[in-house]
Structure 1
């Protein structure tokens, strides 16, 4: 990329040197907060020398309307980023777009005005967002006497006392005379040295708070990297829109770089067929494509501000601010109405999808955007629309509130569900493969396909399946075994279909059970017919095989051939079918199990050879050289057992039942 560009949209007059990020680097993001006209922008200018008001309207009116950014070395040897936010109540939504990802809040209070409405609201927002570090700048100190300065400092201390920012130091400063600026700069530099570098191990996420087009470069998006890292050449996705893009260039903390890391403000120059400024809006999240799973509802713990006039009840309307996104939402308390000054579990149902991660903090404001009502933290991005308040569901939410990811994983495995989809768990927390593997090891759980569960739970599943088969064989000695789906529904916890298939195949490989078509049995189980029925079956058997195996005679034909009553033929064949020796394809049409397996292999092959995976009944008929009616009967039989999926007159193999009617030693995909 030849163009020169930076976060402030102004082309740089000299290219900054490209610095590699070292393990001990400390990049800090400072966010301003405070009432309108209390001197936030002037203070940032005094600290950095950068004018963050860049719009003509901002300069004309003397107020900040959009987010502004500035960067400076405060003396600690690193580049500190400042996010300057509007103070006017009409632009609180813009302030919220810039509040995510900050390491330290610079709360600005004018000494002549003191604490004002937006001071309180901005402080409430910082508290709800979980910001734990702050420094207070008592601006315009040159306009008041020492006594009033002391009064203002006491008022500020009292305001901060019930919040996470209690005890934050207060620095009297004047952006006009320069008084107190060196001391404040030194305090910020000290805070920067105490800032821990965020881990870059997670998957990449960057909420987009600005997008613009720069001549010679193209589309640029900006935001703070919340997790992971991004490199030039990476392919990313924008969520929830689903747009894909390639990263052409990066500026991290206002420096050209090859990589951007968690904790840095970054500008990404994007390229892509559908990428344009018009389609990328504030609220999109640039992320690792594996994380693209937007949601329209989530469960959370919600805290309501004490200033709210009444409780928040079911279907309460609000504006949700999460990251840089703002959407309409409805709140559904899960236990009781949320009282002012208290917190509780709730589900947020959104007007449109957003990209989020478990643990993300959010703010709720009233629908007229005049006041902040509360906020909270995301617990579950895949919340159910029904039965959301049942005891079993509340037990899952209690597990999700554990303090560490491994503790959450263990608690979920001990909840009534008993299973954790580890892939979804990692995706919704932006965990890398390395982090996920370490988490699984720390939790002490084991994997069954993609499901994590306690070793004791897996052992219980194994014992229960064997015990169920033993009981079934005792009660039904003449039956081949128990149907797979019947077994799945009897076991607890209930395994999803694909996971259950992996489970029984592993158990069969270990020799604890045997797979027999759509049935399960113990390895030693061998059903038998009575001697009379066995003799009749042995007479019938040759008629079902050979070249005519795909079109065997029906019951009436066999009855005429052997001069035996139709009912007796039918009863004997049904007994043999229950033992898995033959299959009843239609009412009076029986096929050898080996023939069924051969036809199932044909079905799987037709699916592989079809361009879309879907094949027609005539294509199957031609393979078995049978009539259309019989071919349809056979395919209907496979539909009933789940080997095939049907769409109008087309069918395709069901990948989750691929091993049905496949010999145990054969690969069902072969």
Structure 2
């Protein structure tokens, strides 16, 4: 079944709440103060049953100028507006401001309801209808039908219900397959249940038991129960007014303006790039760095407008701007917003979010304007290319989709073409591919190869550049898991050769020079002379006149090449002697079943200093196994 949210708009005391009561039987003025003053202060909600059997949510918003921010909190999630104008007064100041807001938020489906029609005659009603049509001509509601009603006599109410039914049928439903996003417009506590939040589900769906995140506070919580129009449900879908009971959160941790989302799908930001239209009705130009009030979803945030291509924005003009906010917000590309002047508070403009997590820009850079134009209106191919070129990192398909304002389904078909054109490099992983701009990948490839070659010249006896040192020095912006996949891709493309802990140039042989090899051979020969009691490495190095740095380089090389085996701290056996010890011990165990440290000492004609670490080393290699104080042979 289609889920549509209907909202009211119009000047204070033009009969919005009474109209909803006539349509639904529900009094949406729920606050004592509202009933006493006869005006709506907060948002009101009801369910509307239509003649066809369809049901729609209906949001009653305040009309008084002082409560415009509450009106904005409700209008952002509506699909169809009932613009309420009293027939005895016609278009009034808040009518104009509400229509400006509807224009800025691009709420294109609407019906004009002339209320209090019982108070005027037919001629006056005709004049007001013409005035309203003329007023709406330059707006998104220029084709909105006009119907006259009286909530007191119920004249026109049945016709209005039929008209709403027809318009609802022609109204596009919100997408349930996207990311979960529910801007919160009310927060309260229910005894025995805890914190409850309400809002209109903009996209996706939410299910009982789901883990969700309150943003931008980054509070993880779980859905304890769900209600849609007062009825418990297992699942709520985009377009539905939804109440969500959350576990483990206090009421004061959440506020109107927060957003309920799937974990790790939205990123809070203090900075956004926007396309901004300054209304013709704005009383003065908008200056660079002007302080404003931003209305986004159900949130109100203070910020400053940074103009990117001019000193001031004239009324009626439109441009790209960067908004620097005083609090973090979460948004998505394409979200509509409204701005009001800081003081006095008047609606002055609005537009579209182009980049919800923007880097800081310098003004008067034509290339920035071009990038924003591409980001706003470019093809998927252009958006992917621009995102990867700008960000210069390694990203999953999901990350590219989020950063370019696309869905993963829109990204995936473009990748083969972009890869063939050498614009994107696709790096395979065990699960999902990673993406990087091809020019960036080429530069990284050369950088790593050059760094490896410089390292080989400095340390010719080492295996290669340590991976973690390479990442921390040059690629700290890439997490370790992604970096390992990058290295594997470079090895597959022939740029490097990988070892367990190091990176070598693909053409590096790792062989010692003739001069070094001569010294290494002499060192190993000296170690062999000691038999099963080899000299300490410090003594060997001193004998051959090696400085401390060279001594360590030679030692690491010999150990890596397995010409020398380290069996304990500062105890190194030449490989040939180590293998001889292994053969003798295996032979002994085959004849005697077990061997002690003392028997090992006597067998090898060595001391306990060498016998015990040798046995420990064979244990580690799973040649032997310790049983009590002795060793036995591991079969197989």
Sort the TM-score into its range (normalised by shorter chain). Answer: 0.7 to 0.9
Once the two structures are superposed, the pairs formed by residues 115-264 of structure 1 within 5 Å of their partners are 115-264=91-240
User: Given the superposition, is the C-alpha separation of residues 185 and 393 from structure 1 closer, same or farther in structure 2, using an over 3 Å criterion?
Assistant: same
Selected match of 1:520 from 504, 511, 526: 504
- Aligned match of 1:359: 334
Q: What is the deviation of 1:477?
A: 13
Higher RCO structure, 1 or 2 (CA under 8 Å, sep 6+) = 1
Give me the whole-angstrom Cα distance separating, in 2, the residues matched to 1:268 and 1:106. 27
Contact 2:462–2:557 (Cα < 8 Å) also in 1: no
**What TM-score, normalized by structure 2, do the two folds share?**
0.75
Q: Secondary structure at the match of 1:291?
A: coil
**Change in 2 beyond 3 A, CA 1:181/1:594:** farther
Which residue is 2:485 aligned to?
502
Check if 1:335 corresponds to 2:309: yes
CA spacing shift, 1:130–1:407, aligned 2, 3 Å: farther
| Cα drift, residue 526 of structure 1 | 2.6
Aligned residues: 552
Partner of 2:288: 314
Match of 1:374 among 334, 349, 354: 349
1:441 aligns with 2:413: yes
- CA distance in 1 between partners of 2:320 and 2:413 (Å): 30
Query: SS where residue 97 of structure 1 aligns?
Result: helix
Instruction: Tell whether the 8 Å contact from 1:98 to 1:209 is kept in structure 2 after alignment.
Output: yes
State the match for 2:263 in structure 1. 289
Q: 1:137 deviation in Å?
A: 1.0
Determine if the alignment matches structure 1 residue 70 to structure 2 residue 46: yes
User: Does the Cα contact within 8 Å between 1:238 and 1:284 map onto a contact in 2?
Assistant: yes
User: Would you say the 8 A contact 1:284–1:325 is kept in 2?
Assistant: yes
Give the direction of change, closer, same or farther, for the CA distance of 1:429–1:183 in structure 2 (3 Å limit): farther
Cα separation, 2, equivalents of 1:59 and 1:453: 58
Larger Rg: 2
Measured after TM superposition, the shift of residue 159 of structure 1 is 2.3
Q: Distance in 1 between matches of 2:188 and 2:45?
A: 14
What is the deviation of 1:399? 2.9
- 1:29–1:103 contact (8 Å) kept in structure 2: yes
User: Is 1:550–1:625's contact at 8 Å kept on the other side of the alignment?
Assistant: no
**Relative to structure 2, which stretch is displaced further, 126-135 or 456-465?**
456-465
Would the alpha carbon gap of residues 597 and 334 (structure 1) be closer, same or farther in structure 2, given more than 3 Å must change?
Answer: farther
Gaps of at least 5 residues in structure 2 are 419-424, 572-636
| Offset, 1:513 | 2.8
Name which of structure 1's ranges 357-366 and 80-89 shifts more when overlaid on structure 2.
Answer: 357-366
8 Å Cα contact 2:118-2:150 kept in structure 1: yes
What residue number does 2:543 align with?
Answer: 561
1:592: which partner in 2? 556
- Checking the alignment, whether the CA contact within 8 Å between 1:107 and 1:135 is kept in structure 2 is yes
Alignment correspondent of 1:615: none
Change in Cα spacing, 1:447 to 1:583, as seen in structure 2 (3 Å) is: farther
Choose from 219, 242, 254 the match for 1:280.
254
Question: Does the 8 Å contact 1:41/1:51 carry over to 2?
Answer: yes
Instruction: Describe how 1:476-495 pairs up with structure 2 within 5 A.
Output: none
Q: How does 1:545-624 map to 2 (within 5 A)?
A: 552-553=537-538, 558=541, 561-562=543-544, 591-593=555-557, 595=559
Q: CA deviation at 1:74?
A: 1.3
Deviation at 1:176, TM superposition (A): 2.0
How far apart are residue 41 of structure 1 and its match? 1.0
Specify which of 95, 99, 114 is matched with residue 75 of structure 2. Answer: 99
| CA distance 1:533–1:355, change in 2 (3 Å) | closer
